């Protein structure tokens, strides 16, 4: 029997989730829990169903069977009104940012507030400026257009927009993809800072070894329709499954692991 406390601590609960496209089975009876205030990463080969699973958690897609509960709400048979309300409790950052090119950065960040609140323009502007500040952007960036920004700044602005409605949950699809190592490093730390500062629960898809080793609390390996492993990177690094080994035995994986062991040894001594 689950305790009350456990139930409260599980912000997302997937039970026996199966997804097919025609004959192609993408998820086969997946069980997964996301705990409050953790940073959970989804990894797995291309086509392993990471994006589909994320889309199912945010009501953009439905599984063929199984149940998904988010923030205590069962997504199956959810009414339109309840869905509308629930969607405001999470923020999403898609891989390519999805900012509107014809709006300034500040207008982009204020957009969810314009759509979902009755706040006046001045207040919306102030909130947008604050969101930009917590993602590490200078105030003057607010007046710029997305095309004028670097890749790292675009990611930060998209994060600011995802945070516009003070969500409890944040979903990130490849938050550092396409960034040079310097900007990627900044975004890594930002993800953790946002969790610490705002108490967010974060689910992210990423291949970025720094994000995985330095930022994720737990990592879920998807493969062959199943969860092949789940744990911290250091726990996973000791598991034997081929889908898991793939991430550790490539040259980048080995380098990251050595770096981690080195760090751990330095901390012990």
Contacts 24+ apart (CB under 8 A), 127-133: 127/164, 128/160, 128/164, 131/160, 131/161, 131/163, 131/164, 132/105, 132/106, 132/156, 132/157, 132/160
Q: Which is nearer to ligand ADP, 133 or 246 (CB)?
A: 246
**Span from 13-21, 47-55, 66-74, 220-228 in contact with Mg ion (CB under 5 A):** 47-55
Q: Which is nearer to Mg ion, 49 or 142 (CB)?
A: 49
Does 95 bind Mg ion (CB under 5 A)? Our answer is no
Of the chain, the end-to-end C-alpha distance in Å amounts to 43
Does 49 bind ligand ADP (CB under 6 A)? Our answer is yes
Radius of gyration of the chain (CA): 19
**Span from 42-50, 92-100, 180-188, 223-231 in contact with ligand ADP (CB under 6 A):** 42-50
Question: Contact at 8 Å (CB) between 248 and 257?
Answer: yes
Residue from 29, 51, 144, 259 in contact with Mg ion (CB under 5 A)? 51
Q: Which is nearer to Mg ion, 10 or 174 (CB)?
A: 174
Does 23 bind ligand ADP (CB under 6 A)? Our answer is no
Q: Which of residues 52-111 bind ligand ADP (CB under 6 A)?
A: 52
Kindly report the backbone phi and psi dihedral angles of residue 32, in degrees, each rounded to the nearest multiple of 5, phi listed first. -160, 140
**Residue of 172, 258, 240, 168 lying closest to 211 (CA atoms):** 172
Does 44 bind ligand ADP (CB under 6 A)? Our answer is yes
Where along the sequence are the contacts to ligand ADP (CB under 6 A)? 21, 26, 44, 46-52
């Amino acid at each position: 029997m689950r305790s009350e406390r456990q139930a409260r601590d599980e912000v997302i609960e997937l039970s026996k989730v199966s997804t097919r496209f025609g004959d192609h089975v993408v998820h086969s009876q997946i069980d997964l829990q996301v705990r409050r205030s953790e940073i959970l990463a989804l990894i797995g080969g291309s086509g392993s169903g990471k994006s589909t699973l994320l889309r199912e958690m945010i009501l953009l897609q439905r599984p063929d069977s199984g149940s998904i509960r988010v923030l205590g709400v069962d997504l199956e048979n959810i009414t339109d009104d309840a869905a509308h309300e629930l969607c405001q409790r999470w923020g999403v950052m898609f891989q390519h940012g999805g900012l509107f090119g014809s709006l300034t950065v500040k207008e982009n960040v204020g957009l969810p507030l314009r759509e979902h609140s009755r706040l006046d323009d001045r207040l919306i502007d102030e909130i947008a400026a604050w969101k930009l500040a917590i993602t590490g952007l200078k105030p003057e960036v607010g007046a710029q257009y997305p095309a004028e920004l670097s890749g790292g700044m675009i990611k930060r602005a998209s994060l600011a927009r995802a945070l516009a409605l003070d969500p409890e949950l944040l979903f990130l699809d490849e938050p550092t993809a396409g960034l040079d190592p310097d900007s990627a490093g900044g975004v890594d730390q930002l993800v953790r800072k946002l969790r610490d500062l705002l108490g967010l629960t974060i689910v992210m898809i990423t291949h970025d070894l720094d994000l995985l080793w330095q930022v994720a609390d737990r990592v879920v390996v998807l493969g062959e329709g199943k969860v092949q492993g789940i744990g911290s990177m250091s726990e996973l690094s000791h598991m034997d499954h081929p889908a898991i080994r793939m991430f550790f035995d490539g040259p980048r994986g080995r380098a990251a692991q050595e770096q981690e062991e080195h760090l751990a040894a330095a901390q012990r001594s």
